[in-house]
Structure 1
Amino acid sequence: MGATTTTQKPSLAQLQTDPLRNFKFQVMIHLAGSTLDSSKRSNQLGFMSVSGLSITTDVVVYRQGGMNTTTQKMPGQSDFAPITLSRGLICGDSDIYAWLKQLFMVMQGTGGNNGSYNFRATMDIFLLDHPVTTSSVTYKAGWRVYNCWPTSIAFGDLDSGANGVELQQITLAHEGWDFKIASKYGPGSGISLP
């Protein structure tokens, strides 16, 4: 019997058809009139994870006489899930906690600024190009989150037998987001948010 030769078929995959990577992202929180350092009014913060970018629309089930075998389904209210951001705790970084304290001042009426504090913020989340093929950063997808504010801050467990880092999580309520994605792969085909 003769030896059979096999040739490897060329892959149909290429950079243009590769999905975007989920590990290269940037978060910017824009706080108007905040108590935070004025040089950080547009905060570009490093987070290790972002979760909760989802929307769900309720289903309203409707029945009427004479149509007893099936139901009619109509869209009801839509709701956006809370967004959770996680990152390591770093010395000198108290902006997240200051944001939560600002919310307390508004709720208690002790703002000291005639109640003009606005604890709501706009947040931009950008998915970056990978691999980086130019010297400039290209945003390939992005979410603009409207009127977000902290509903909780949580710190990781303290454990003298562990070998890890201390984490903090912030959960944000918000009133929805817009989403954009680049129309094609390649340099110069990024997006910008409104």
Structure 2
Amino acid sequence: MATQVDRLKEDPLRSFRFKVTFGGAGNGDRYKFGEAGFMSVSGLSMTTEVIPYREGGMNTVSRKMPGQSDFSPVNFSRGLIVGEPSMMLWMNDLFDALQGSGGNRIPDFRVNVDIFLLAHPWPGPNPIPLAGWRLLNAWPTSVAFSDLDAGANSISITQMSLVHEGWYFKLNPTIDGSGVSL
């Protein structure tokens, strides 16, 4: 029977509370660069503009209807990415789109990002997701890496911010190759 220490050695993401997958779900596997674990996620919020209007015959009170919604950037802190580091491919495609050097095709750098809030500590061999969010059409606006370590087999991220065009939320999702089960 594996001890807690053995499981930590086998799974470097075990001590993180949030599991994050980039791409894959509806975006193909172009930017799917393994799994990421983060200690902190903030900014999952939205604001909807209020549009007041007057209704005919009812001029004493203004009615209100929803306008355009805006989603705040999501910030990730103290993270670790394990697996293939194709995050650099994601960043290069973003730079190509900004500089217009994508040739005849501007790369689509927007991807869906799945965030899972995990039960902590994990009671068994597999993580239990308590809640899940899918960010739609997300892309990075800032990334800060930790110091480089030649002996490490991972990419440590100090801070990363993603902008996106909306999100879905689900309680008790399942974790599989397609991400949050919506």
Name the TM-score class by shorter chain.
Answer: 0.5 to 0.7
Structure 1 unaligned segments of length 5 or more: list them: 1-22, 157-165, 183-189
SS in 2 for 1:119: coil
| Aligned CA distance change for structure 1 residues 167 and 131 (closer, same or farther; 3 Å) | closer
Partners of 1:136 and 1:169 lie apart in 2 by 26
| Aligned CA distance change for structure 1 residues 97 and 49 (closer, same or farther; 3 Å) | farther
1:30 to 23, 26, 30: 23
Please tell me whether the aligned partners of residues 52 and 84 of structure 1 are also in contact (alpha carbons under 8 angstroms). Answer: yes
Partners of 2:124 and 2:39 lie apart in 1 by 24
Partners of 2:126 and 2:107 lie apart in 1 by 36
Partners of 1:30 and 1:148 lie apart in 2 by 9
Which residue of structure 2 aligns with residue 78 of structure 1? 69
Any idea what the Cα deviations from partners look like across 1:107-149, whole Å, max 9, x if unmatched? Answer: 323236x526321111110011245333322111100111101
Paired positions, count: 148
Any idea what the Cα deviations from partners look like across 1:68-100, whole Å, max 9, x if unmatched? Answer: 43221111112211111223699xx97555533
2:95 to 92, 104, 111: 104
Which residue of structure 1 aligns with residue 3 of structure 2? none
Instruction: State the identity %.
Output: 49
Is 2:34 aligned against 1:43? yes
Partners of 1:96 and 1:131 lie apart in 2 by 28
Correspondence list, 1:137-176, <5 A: 137-154=127-144, 168-176=158-166
Correspondence list, 1:6-21, <5 A: none
Partners of 1:125 and 1:58 lie apart in 2 by 26
The structure carrying a bigger strand percent of its residues is 2
Structure 2 unaligned segments of length 5 or more: list them: 1-15, 147-155
Is 2:126 aligned against 1:129? no
Partners of 2:112 and 2:23 lie apart in 1 by 5
Please tell me whether the aligned partners of residues 18 and 39 of structure 2 are also in contact (alpha carbons under 8 angstroms). Answer: no
Partners of 1:94 and 1:123 lie apart in 2 by 16
- Compute the displacement of 1:167 (Å): 6.4
**TM-score normalised by the chain length of structure 1:** 0.61
Query: Could you say which structure has the larger radius of gyration?
Result: 1
**TM-score normalised by the chain length of structure 2:** 0.65
1:117 to 95, 107, 117: 107
Which residue of structure 2 aligns with residue 18 of structure 1? none
